[in-house]
Amino acid sequence: TPSVEEGATHGHMSTRNLPTVLVAVDTPSVEEARALVERLRGAGVGYKIGLEFFSANGIAGVQRVLDGAPDTPFFLDLKFHDIPNTVAGAIRAVSAARPAIVNVHAAGGEAMMRAAVSAAREGALAVGAEPPLVIAVTILTSMDDADLVAVGQQPPVVEQVVRLAKLAQACGLDGVVCSAKELPAIRAACGNAFVTIVPGIRSTGGEIGDQKRVVTPAQAIADGATFLVIGRPITQAPDAKQAAIDIVASITR
């Protein structure tokens, strides 16, 4: 199983033992999510649990999905964006689920991001867990230059991504969610120890779906991605476990 070589910054959970591939749990159904985790047992992957599932099922639902595999690492992808005290409270609350990775919107600003880092440590301490990696969302991967203009931000996307990544790093966060196409610029600005989580990963020839900036798993790893979030190429494959194993193999050659 490929996993990240370097430890993360700021004393948070080491990336060393976390799997490179995080499978997107894109369902509101606890039963479907449990079945997916069961099908993929032994494939050497972690999971990304997002807003749809969490809104439907909460922490209890997350725990039910993983109770058959309690040591399975997961990224709780809720993208908190609110005033600092509210974000801190939310991160402390989700610490009960023991996520390996949590995230916030970098656009929430410095005070909010610093509050998130402190809360992640406090929440983990309260439940006897290692603090999760705290990751910033820069620009949603569904957005392109025209979308930035429409919301009053300055394109090109890559410059805004780098601006927000540098701010997140200065605030003590462990890394960012980004497109693979922004990886070289982020690596140049933030160094090799900064964690990068890349969604929008599709197998060669796969559907682009609703994310506009996409690459293959091998390309993303070659560009310096730390973690890959992969959904449909695994979850909608005729044999999900084999698809996961094949993707893991494709990035370790």
DSSP string, 3-19: B-SSPPSTT---STTSB
Neighbouring-strand partners of residue 3: 19
**What's the CA gap between 64 and 74, in Å, rounded?**
13
Please say whether the beta carbons of 164 and 107 come within 8 A: yes
Residue type, 24: A
Q: In the chain, helix, strand, coil percent, each to 5? A: 45, 15, 40
Neighbouring-strand partners of residue 75: 48, 101
CB burial of residue 208 (10 Å; 0-12, 13-18, 19+): exposed
List residues with catalytic annotation. Answer: 79
